[in-house]
Amino acid sequence: MYNIFRLSNGLRIVVENIDYVNSVSVGLWVENGSRNENNLNNGISHFIEHMFFKGTNTRTSKQIAEAIEDVGGQINAFTGKEATCFYIKALDSHLELSLEVLSDMLFNSKFSADDIEKEKSVIIEEINMSEDQPEDVLSDLHSIAIWGDDSISMPILGSIDTVKSFSREKLIKYVSEYYIPENSVISIAGKINMNIIESIVSKYFGHWTSCNKVITKYSSPKILNNHLMKEKDIEQLHLSLGLIGIDTGNDDIYPMLLLNNMFGGGASSILFQKIREDLGLCYSIYSYISSFNNTGVLSIYTGLNSKYSVEVVSTIKDEIIKFSTIDITNEKLFKLKEQLKGNYILGLESTSSRMFSNGKSVLFLNKVKTPMDIITKVDSITKEDLNDVMNKTFTKGIQNSSFVGNNLDLDSLINIMESDSIAFKNKKSKRV
């Protein structure tokens, strides 16, 4: 049973009652992330997420954790490009406690000068740790290749310089502007008394107001044709190739998910079978979809010995060309639908996954897509739908790329990717 309602202050609430479980997951979602930032404050959303756990007027940092962990629950948070989420999972008997703790963190966090300085050191170490992870470096580099100077390309962690620049005044001002009820959603999933849930949420969040409101609006960035390389003294070459994808809320996402599963979504996919199983050129290779407001991309990732880079990139391109002209039989289409539905339903087996799915859907689309809605969409996919989405995405070919490693002939790879294609007339390549 789903229920969506809005408090008088504009805060949206989505509740899913699952009466056969004994747990509840509660998430506070804010439509704010690195995409809302600029060159001067990049990383501030992630920094604020950390500061909410550093203590309130009534609880120390340790007491925030103990309030939930002492009753067997879990508390955590994450920051993305477009959203920040603080969430708690606990027994259903501790629903009100969960809401109270989240409200305490939101409204009463101290942002003490000492804690801010300590957290700067912590996050700088997190940035340094990320720099030691080639997959993280690759992801941030590919974002720049895809979107250039648009704010969506900014790293979630920010830079050491921007993190060092954060002051108490800057953090509090940012919270007052972006952490507002109109930009936010409370998502609750689990065993819930639907008769009293609205009054409980109103008790802790009904007074939430802000005078300095910044309603989130996102740009519509173009997918660019850039190729970027970052030298790093590591054993493997890590590469990411980008194709045009699907934006959030577009029903083309369903045939796109089906196509991605077939092309690079698992061990039975075309990419895995060809490049790992048949040719033995890598250990891991896969493709995945990233959908955002007004833009989207499909990325192909692999890590391999740089001496195989020309062969692998050439093979990937060849497989994309063959795949874009494939004739999918009705029998294969049925199997792909069953695979996609199975993956989706199995991914919703916990209250946490239901809370995440519902919260994100209401935050960006102002509606809940129920499991039955999704299954109906998948079942209705036709071969014509696949061909239409194929022409918008795979048929366009590789648009951009990023590489992290050494001993790479970038120009040769660019020539492979752009040959017989008009997509790269305005290409840019750069070593960073």
The catalytic residue among 37, 49, 82, 119 is: 49
- Tell me the pairing of strands 226-231 and 400-405: parallel
Contacts of 298 (CB under 8 A, 6+ apart): 242, 243, 244, 245, 256, 260, 287, 288, 289, 290, 393, 394
Whether 125 sits among the annotated catalytic residues: the reply is no
Nearest to 162 by CA among 33, 36, 47, 78: 47
Confirm if 232 and 134 have CB atoms less than 8 A apart.
yes
Nearest to 107 by CA among 228, 18, 208: 208
Distance CA 86, CA 298 (A): 28
Counting Cβ atoms within 10 Å, is residue 54 exposed (0-12), middle (13-18) or buried (19+)? buried
Question: DSSP letters of 249-274?
Answer: T-TTHHHHHHHHHHHHSSTTSHHIII
Phi (first) and psi of residue 35, to 5 degrees: -70, -20
How many C-alpha atoms does 203 have within 13 Å on its Cβ side? Answer: 12
Three-class secondary structure of residue 54 per DSSP:
coil
The CA–CA distances, whole Å, from 307 to 299, 301, 430 equal 22, 17, 20
Confirm if 25 and 355 have CB atoms less than 8 A apart.
yes
Distance CA 361, CA 359 (A): 5
Helix axes 95-108, 197-205, angle to 10 degrees: 20
Confirm if 84 and 216 have CB atoms less than 8 A apart.
no
Radius of gyration over every alpha carbon of the chain, rounded to an integer in angstroms: 23
Three-class secondary structure of residue 97 per DSSP:
helix
Catalytic positions, written as ranges? 49
